[in-house]
Structure 1
Amino acid sequence: MKIKAFFKILFISLIINSCSSNDSDIAESVSYPSFGSEIEVNINGLLFDAMEPFISPSGNNLFFNNLNDGINTKLYYATKINDSTFNFVGELVGTNQTTTPHLDAVADMDSNGNFYWTSTRNYPTELENLFHGTINVGSVSDIERVQGDFNMNIPGWLIMDHGISLDGQFLYFSNARFDDTDCMGPCETTLGIAQKDNSSTFNTLPNSALILQNINDANYIYYAPCISSDNLELYYTRYLKGPITPSTVFEICVAVRRDSQSEFSIPRVLFSEVISNLIEAPTLTVDKNIIYYHQKTSDSHKIVMRYRNYL
């Protein structure tokens, strides 16, 4: 695949029933979260798009990238004033490439200060495109590629998105195949779960497919997984596979489970919008009280939030 074509289709993709026998038991024994009305997030001093938000475990920093155009996409951060107001600080030092075209995006972090993101640096010479490093006061150091059998290591296949568990032990990943000859955006995707072997290596759980069997469906494109702090709620974005048109609906979904070893339930759609009001990339606070995600506007992309409903 030509690198120019890769950037083009990656941009398009980012702006854009297999059931177990005890599905009914899962549905009866767990409850799905719900959230209130949408609230716009203000980032004081920010003059460009904000996409792919991630709220830090402390809740004090909001990470995001600018427009996912694959040309000059960088990671930035802002500091918290209140739940819906942040002050823009600037680039996240160490994560961003300096030579265009490039993409550094999709921030993620565990409670131990290990920071993760996707990057096109040296692609396709090196096919592993998930990176990690140590974050400290707006800077990431000790940067390495994340190794493991969750990487397909096949040209055209990428880790499109990822979500790290709060304790850093489990990586939820989205494998995506791109082919600009056959399809617009990802041709196919699969969500999976990998467990940490060491600081630079995760390997796929033997029962990953079983745990996610109620979620993965060949009719959908999946990305932007986010696992809650207690490992019981999995949030992600999906849309029906096929040509992306003005009527394509993007959905933020959640699946739940009884305990951290069980399979997830059949997913429930929380919010949905057509592409003109595109919504993507949920991230949850540690207390699960707030969900943040980004939304497309007439001329930009902004971050919004909702509070969790409690009985």
Structure 2
Amino acid sequence: MKIKLIYIVSILVLMLLSCTSNDNEINNPQTIYPEFGSEIDVTINGLSFDAMEPFISSDGNYLFFNNLNDGINTKLYYATKVNDSTFNFVGELTGANQATSPHLDAVADMDMNGNFYWTSTRNYPAELNNLFHGTFSAGNISDIERVQGDFNMNIPGWLIMDHGISLDGQFLYFNNARFDGSNCQGPCETTIGIAQKNTASTFNTLPDSSSILQNINDSNYIYYAPCISSDNLEFYYTRYLKGEITPNTVFEICVAVRSNSSLEFSVPSVLFSETISNLIEAPTLTVDKSIMYYHRKTTNSHKIVMRYRS
């Protein structure tokens, strides 16, 4: 939540921005995973284009999203809440979007204090750390800076493909991805890590990041769209099996859990899965964890949908 500038960005974005089926059979039977009800369409009054990579603000009043992830004219937008499944479209998120095409500004995240994070191709590839933050207020992002830290690979071909910020703003779940348009379709490899906040614009990787996520990172998969619950006990993300993307490629929204925020996450459980023609990606949760929003591919577009927790 982005290879040759247009190709890298367009493929990255397609993957942005949002787990296989045998996982459930090997999960610890004592582990309790969240369950969600049937899918409900979300209406955004006044919106006439694609809506992807949703993020719901901690107060529930704002729904952030980006339009089509083509890496050419990808921008961030927002809508205000009418009810759980209905929002009124307001417009662009002022300050966050670049003016000159080709560009990508996508994958919104925000902590409870209004610190807003997103992925941007500003001055890429001259500058390779492509995660940004600013302050959100009334539809505007100000005080924009790059997010610094050792989680940035700063190696050509590697990007922060996606990210998720904890509610208190102290922990960044980052998604490193390597792209090589000559040898891979989409990301060649990905890994998810956890970094802790040092200053307003700096995060550094936790010493035990790898062990906390040891049940999640698997070289057989491509991972993206991480989302951490408000209590830091449930970790959601999207994955698919590494290799050529075909009409039969299955994209899965997964969750891993833990009973204490200092523990490692469990083996993941697959919550929902679809082939690429009905692609589902990029889950986000309300603070009380009662609603999950994500996007789904339709015949001619992408739309945001939701599910209530059972």
- In the other structure, the counterpart of 1:20 is none
Tell me the CA shift for residue 235 of structure 1.
Answer: 0.2
Q: State the distance in 1 between where 2:131 and 2:81 align.
A: 27
The ranges of structure 1 where at least 4 consecutive aligned residues each deviate by more than 6 angstroms after the TM superposition are: none
Superposition CA RMSD, Å: 1.4
CA distance in 2, matches of 1:223, 1:294: 14
CA distance in 1 between partners of 2:174 and 2:258 (Å): 18
The equivalences for 1:64-79 within 5 A come to: 64-79=65-80
C-alpha contact (below 8 Å) 2:45/2:87 kept by paired residues: yes
Q: 1:184, 1:7 → 2: CA distance?
A: 13
What is the match of residue 186 of structure 1?
A: 187
Task: Report the AA paired with residue 284 of structure 1.
Answer: L
Cα displacement (A) at 1:3: 1.7
CA displacement, residues 229-249 of structure 1 (integer Å, 9 cap, x when unaligned):
000000000000000000000
* 2:285 maps to 1:284: yes
CA distance in 2, matches of 1:133, 1:301: 27
Q: 2:31 & 2:110 partners in 1: Cα distance?
A: 27
> Is this contact kept in 1: 2:112–2:167, CA < 8 A?
yes
Deviation (angstroms), 1:28: 5.2
Q: Report what 2:23 is aligned to.
A: none
Superposed displacement of residue 7, structure 1: 2.6
Structure 2 counterpart of 1:55, one-letter code: I
| Pairs aligned (count) | 301
1:3 corresponds in structure 2 to: 5
Letter in 2 for 1:193: I
Asked if 2 retains the 8 angstrom alpha-carbon contact of 1:30 and 1:258, the reply is no
Amino acid at match of 1:13: M
Offset of 1:31 from its aligned partner? 1.2
Where does structure 2 lack aligned partners over 5 or more consecutive residues?
A: 19-25
Quote the residue 1:127 is aligned against.
128
User: 1:12·1:184 contact (CA, 8 Å) conserved in 2?
Assistant: no
Aligned partners of 1:56, 1:201: CA distance in 2, in Å? Answer: 22
- Cα distance in 1 for partners of 2:17, 2:153 equals 24
Q: Does 1:98 align with 2:99?
A: yes
Superposition deviation, residue 6 in structure 1 = 1.6
Counterpart in the other structure of 2:63: 62
Q: Shift of the alpha carbon at 1:15?
A: 8.2
Q: Please give the TM-score of this superposition, normalised by the length of structure 2.
A: 0.95
Tell me the equivalent position of 1:37. 38
Distance 1:256 1:12 in 2: 27
In the alignment, the residues of structure 2 paired with residue 3 and residue 96 of structure 1 have an alpha-carbon distance, to the nearest angstrom, of 17
* SS state at 1:121 partner: coil
**Structure 2 Cα separation of the partners of residues 14 and 161 of structure 1:** 6
- 1:226 matched to 2:203: no
TM-score, normalising length from structure 1?
0.95
Unaligned runs of 5+ residues in structure 1 are 17-23
- Rounded Cα–Cα distance in structure 1 between residues aligned with 2:273 and 2:49: 24
